[in-house]
Structure 1
Amino acid sequence: MDRAIIVGLDGSPESRAAAEWAAREAQLRILPLKLVHVWELVSEPLVQAPMLGGETHQHWSDEIPRESAEGLLLRHPGLVVTAEHVAGRPSEVLCEAAQAAELLVLGSRGLSGVGGFLVGSVGLAVVAHAECPVVLVRVGGQAADEHEKDPTGIPSAATRYRPVVLGLDLTTLDASMIDFAFDAAARRESVLRVVHAWGLPTYFDFYGEDADTEWCVEVSRKKATELTEALRAWRQKYPRVDVVEEVRWGGRAGHLIEESRDASLVVVGRRIRRHPFGMHIGPVTHAVLHHATAPVAVVAHD
Structure 2
Amino acid sequence: MTNRSGAPVVVGVDGSVSALDAVRVATREAVARERPLRVVHALSWPLVGAALGALTGTPPEAGPRNHAHDIVDEAVAEAKKVAAEIDVVGEVVDGSPNPVLLQESHDAALLVLGSRGLDGFAELLVGSSAVQMSARASCPVLVVRSEPRADGPVVVGVDGSALSTEAVEFAFEEAALRGTDLVAVHSWLYPTPVGPGDIPPLAYDIDALIAEEERALAEAVAAWAERYPQVPVRQRLVRGAAARVLIEESASAQLTVVGAHGRGAWGGLFLGSVSHAVLHHARSPLAIVRHRKPGQG
TM-score (norm 1): 0.79
2:154 is matched with which residue?
164
The 5 Å alignment of 1:22-41 reads 22-41=26-45
Q: Indicate the SS of the match to 2:113.
A: strand
1:127 is matched with which residue?
134
Please report how far the alpha carbon of residue 200 of structure 1 lies from its aligned counterpart in structure 2 after TM superposition: 2.0
The answer to whether structure 1 residue 248 and structure 2 residue 238 are counterparts is yes
Aligned residue pair count: 263
Letter in 1 for 2:77: E
The 5 Å alignment of 1:111-190 reads 119-120=125-126, 122-138=129-145, 141-142=146-147, 145-147=148-150, 161-172=151-162, 174-190=164-180
- Structure 1 or 2: larger strand share? 1
- Choose which of 254, 262, 278 in structure 2 pairs with 1:264: 254
Contact 1:105 / 1:134 at 8 angstroms: preserved in 2?
A: yes
2:77 is matched with which residue?
70
Contact 1:91 / 1:126 at 8 angstroms: preserved in 2?
A: yes
Quickly say closer, same or farther: Cα 1:168–1:96, change in 2 above 3 A: same
The 5 Å alignment of 1:272-291 reads 281-283=270-272, 284-291=274-281
2:197 is matched with which residue?
none
Q: Indicate the SS of the match to 1:35.
A: strand
Please report how far the alpha carbon of residue 285 of structure 1 lies from its aligned counterpart in structure 2 after TM superposition: 4.2
Q: Indicate the SS of the match to 1:196.
A: strand
Give the distance between the partners of 2:209 and 2:218, measured in 1 at CA. Answer: 14
The answer to whether structure 1 residue 234 and structure 2 residue 224 are counterparts is yes
Letter in 2 for 1:257: I
Quickly say closer, same or farther: Cα 1:241–1:26, change in 2 above 3 A: same
Contact 2:53 / 2:59 at 8 angstroms: preserved in 1?
A: yes
Contact 1:40 / 1:89 at 8 angstroms: preserved in 2?
A: yes
Contact 1:268 / 1:285 at 8 angstroms: preserved in 2?
A: no
Please report how far the alpha carbon of residue 202 of structure 1 lies from its aligned counterpart in structure 2 after TM superposition: 4.4
2:14 is matched with which residue?
10
Please report how far the alpha carbon of residue 224 of structure 1 lies from its aligned counterpart in structure 2 after TM superposition: 0.8
Please report how far the alpha carbon of residue 48 of structure 1 lies from its aligned counterpart in structure 2 after TM superposition: 3.5
Letter in 2 for 1:267: V
- Choose which of 49, 59, 62 in structure 1 pairs with 2:66: 59
TM-score (norm 2): 0.80
Alignment gaps of 5+ in structure 2 = 118-123, 194-201, 263-268, 293-297
Quickly say closer, same or farther: Cα 1:74–1:185, change in 2 above 3 A: same
Quickly say closer, same or farther: Cα 1:92–1:262, change in 2 above 3 A: same
Quickly say closer, same or farther: Cα 1:291–1:217, change in 2 above 3 A: farther
Give the distance between the partners of 2:240 and 2:271, measured in 1 at CA. Answer: 17
Please report how far the alpha carbon of residue 286 of structure 1 lies from its aligned counterpart in structure 2 after TM superposition: 4.0
Give the distance between the partners of 1:220 and 1:171, measured in 2 at CA. Answer: 18
Alignment gaps of 5+ in structure 1 = 111-117, 148-160, 204-210, 273-279
The answer to whether structure 1 residue 98 and structure 2 residue 101 are counterparts is no
Give the distance between the partners of 1:94 and 1:28, measured in 2 at CA. Answer: 22
Alignment RMSD: 2.7
- Choose which of 70, 86, 91 in structure 1 pairs with 2:93: 86
More RCO (CA 8 Å, sep 6+): 2
Contact 1:270 / 1:285 at 8 angstroms: preserved in 2?
A: no
